[in-house]
Amino acid sequence: MRGSGKLAAGVLAGVLLASGTAAATGDPVRAAVGDLVAKGGFPGAVVQVRNGEAVSRFGAGYANPVTHEPAGPHHRFRIASNTKAFVATVVLQLAGEGALSLDDPIERRLPGAVRGPGYEPEKITLRMLLNHTSGLHDPLDPHFFDPYLVQGNRAHIITPSEVIRRSLVDPPSFAPGTDVKYSNTGYLLLGKVIEKVTRNDVREEIQRRILDPLGLGRTYFPLWSPFLRGPHLHGYDMSAQDMTVFSPSYDWTAGAMVSTVDELATFHRALLAGRLLEPAQQAELKRLVPYSELGAYGAGVETLNLPCAGGTKTVWGNTGAGPGFYSVSMSTADGAKQIVLALNVYDLAAESRGGKRVPKPPMPAVMAALC
């Protein structure tokens, strides 16, 4: 189980400034995005940029290069690990309501769910699952995605329970709380905790607690259907193979949601501004665990350290990567500037073998918006 989080951040931050993308004149964000879809780049890009209360939104290139449908802000895309911020918000709200504690061990909330060589479920807390310090890794089987990528069955279903089981076949990455490593599996367990505590479908909890109050009518959480609803970007791998049709079943609460740039921006703005959580839980959201000099993990969100001209600037939000889609949703610490950028290439097979996953680094566009 791959295609999100730390690897997505690596795509963003791994190449700081590969070229002088921002033009000397005009809108530097538009210039940088234009370069992303220029020759040898992404088929399409969709962006929302905010500076104070001034908001611009635009598309570049194609949502579908076969039909030449232009990419636009109305197009949906798979948001991948941006999903984790929605899930963490529900967990933190439940903590604020007293329905659970972040210090609860997973063994208390899901008895018997974590069993495998070397695992200590009584020492793995919900907080560790939220900030990736649990030691739970994702399935290490190199053939995990073979049903989709080798056998070509894009509608294949791998249940979250099966992902968890296959993750626990191998020993943990480290003892609970002693290190940090990105874990999609941890967020699958958090989804199960939400359902156990609320006795309700996690998708309904996200709908009731977040999507409805914020008016996010074009954001949804597919369970297993491989198809995207309504107008959407088509996603591709590095060989231009269309990856749009792909069951999100394995990703569930780690990365299955679908949204638009406007609605993802609305959610992150509300979350980071403290409109969705009580002060104590907002502090937990932003309690950071550094994973490298590039950034740190909070509870369902992450920070990235941008090398801006005036010095390093820390920005907040999420990155997301999955078959065919790569996205960045980031804001400055004071909330004054924000960008949500959706791109329609991400190569899952290349990721598994350490190859090139996107045609160009998106960092110049992010820096043009936030520095």
Say how far apart CA 27 and CA 106 lie, in whole Å. Answer: 49
Say how far apart CA 180 and CA 255 lie, in whole Å. Answer: 19
Please, which residues have CB within 8 angstroms of residue 139's CB and are 6 or more apart in sequence?
A: 1, 163, 166, 167, 169, 185
Q: At 109, which CATH number?
A: 3.40.710.10
Q: Report, as an integer, the average pLDDT of 106-122.
A: 97
**Domain for residue 21, yes or no?**
no
**Domain for residue 202, yes or no?**
yes
| Tokens coding 351 | 């990721």
b/e burial code for range 29-49 (CB count within 10 A of at least 16 → b):
bbbbbbbbbeeebbbbbbbbb
Looking at the predicted structure, is the pLDDT value of residue 3 above 70? no
Name the pLDDT band for 370 (thresholds 50, 70, 90). Answer: very high
The domain in which residue 194 lies consists of 28-370
Chain-centre distance of CA 90, in angstroms? 16
Say how far apart CA 328 and CA 288 lie, in whole Å. Answer: 19
The three-state secondary structure class of 130 is helix
Q: Report, as an integer, the average pLDDT of 238-249.
A: 97
**Domain for residue 58, yes or no?**
yes
Question: For 330-359, what is each residue's pLDDT tens digit?
Answer: 999 999 999 999 999 999 999 878 889 999
**Domain for residue 17, yes or no?**
no
Query: Smallest Cα–Cα separation from 235: which of 152, 343, 341, 150?
Result: 343
**Domain for residue 177, yes or no?**
yes
**Domain for residue 13, yes or no?**
no
**Domain for residue 170, yes or no?**
yes
Query: pTM of the entire structure?
Result: 0.94
Split into its structural domains, the chain has a count of 1
**Domain for residue 273, yes or no?**
yes
Name the pLDDT band for 268 (thresholds 50, 70, 90). Answer: very high
